[in-house]
């Protein structure tokens, strides 16, 4: 696959859909039922963003009508404020090509890497990966939430071209085992790509004392952080690495100039 276009965007305010009283009431009930078995109370004043709105804006930015997409993968970790929506199915209607669409989640920061892997294994002509995270939870929680609502969309095409992608994922890596695995992975993925720019998440850098020279993704954006930088870098080779300390996934992907 080659990366042909990418877009990134931060979103402010709340989802437009929350301005609808009926919808707001339905969502409030949903989250109350969701949180109750876990002993969590809803917070007053529902806020946050919708992945349908965020991803919809990114699709419009990245996919022109002349480039129909065959596969759309939406990757997220923290859920959004429209919990019952089949957002990927909705996006299929918005996206040129009416692509096969689904969401990958429950995998922390590994989900976007799995998205890339799945797109590669489908072997379609054109695929879109949309990575999103929003910054609000509608119930009491001590969990860290992202600092901002952010999304990144990356359009990939099959075949040879100027940029190719490789993906490595290592499940169940203890923090103390990260440096050894990461060193090996970066060495293998960098081979043949002189001058590759390494982008690491703050969570990976935190458990890798002897990490190589790198660009540090912004802290507080656990799912979109490294992809935000990839979307910015349109020239040269880029290797992104992330580590999810809760779920213990160590992941890398390289987008390399050939």
Q: Given the rule CB under 8 A, which residues bind another protein?
A: 17, 26, 29-30, 33-35, 37-38, 40, 52, 74, 77-79, 83-94, 98, 100-108, 110-111, 114, 117-118, 120-122, 137, 139, 141, 143, 169, 171-172, 246-249
The smaller minimum CB distance to another protein, of residues 92 and 203, is found at 92
Nearest residue (CB) to another protein, 107 versus 221:
107
- Residue 17 vs 206, nearer CB to another protein: 17
DSSP 205: H
How many of the other CB atoms lie within 10 Å of CB of 144? 9
Report the distance separating Cα 243 and Cα 245, nearest Å: 6
Based on CB atoms, which residue is closest to another protein, 122 or 214?
122
CB of 136 to another protein, least distance (A): 11
Structure tokens at 176: 């103390």
Q: What is the nearest approach in angstroms of another protein to the Cβ of residue 79? A: 4
Beginning with the edge strand found earlier in the chain, give each strand of the sheet holding 238-244 in spatial order.
Answer: 163-170, 249-257, 238-244, 197-200, 215-216
Joined tokens for residue 237: 């080779």
Q: What minimum distance in Å lies between the beta carbon of 152 and another protein?
A: 18
Interacting residues of 36 by C-beta distance below 8 A, sequence separation 6+: none
The DSSP call for residue 139 is B
**Shortest Å distance, C-beta 89 to another protein:** 3
């Amino acid at each position: 696959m080659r990366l042909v276009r990418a877009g990134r965007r931060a979103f402010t305010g709340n989802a437009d859909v929350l301005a609808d009283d009926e919808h707001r009431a339905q969502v409030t009930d949903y989250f109350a039922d969701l949180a109750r078995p876990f002993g969590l109370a809803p917070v007053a004043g529902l806020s946050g963003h919708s992945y349908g709105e965020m991803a919809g804006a990114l699709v419009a930015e990245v996919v022109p009508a002349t480039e129909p997409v065959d596969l759309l993968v939406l990757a997220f970790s923290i859920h959004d404020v429209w919990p019952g929506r089949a957002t990927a199915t909705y996006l299929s209607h918005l996206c040129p090509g009416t692509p096969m669409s689904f969401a990958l989640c429950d995998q922390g920061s590994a989900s976007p890497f799995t998205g890339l892997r799945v797109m590669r294994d489908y072997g379609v002509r054109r695929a879109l990966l949309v990575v999103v995270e929003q910054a609000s939870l509608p119930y009491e929680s001590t969990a860290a939430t992202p600092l901002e609502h952010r999304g990144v969309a990356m359009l990939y095409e099959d075949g040879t071209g100027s940029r190719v992608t490789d993906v490595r994922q290592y499940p169940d890596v203890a923090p103390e085992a990260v440096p050894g695995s990461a060193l090996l992975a970066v060495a293998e993925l960098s081979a043949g790509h002189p001058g590759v720019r390494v982008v690491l998440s703050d969570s990976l850098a935190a458990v890798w004392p002897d990490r190589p020279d790198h660009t540090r993704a912004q802290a507080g954006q656990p799912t979109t952080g490294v992809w935000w930088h990839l979307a910015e870098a349109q020239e040269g080779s880029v290797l992104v690495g992330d580590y999810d300390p809760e779920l213990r996934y160590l992941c890398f992907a390289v987008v390399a100039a050939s």
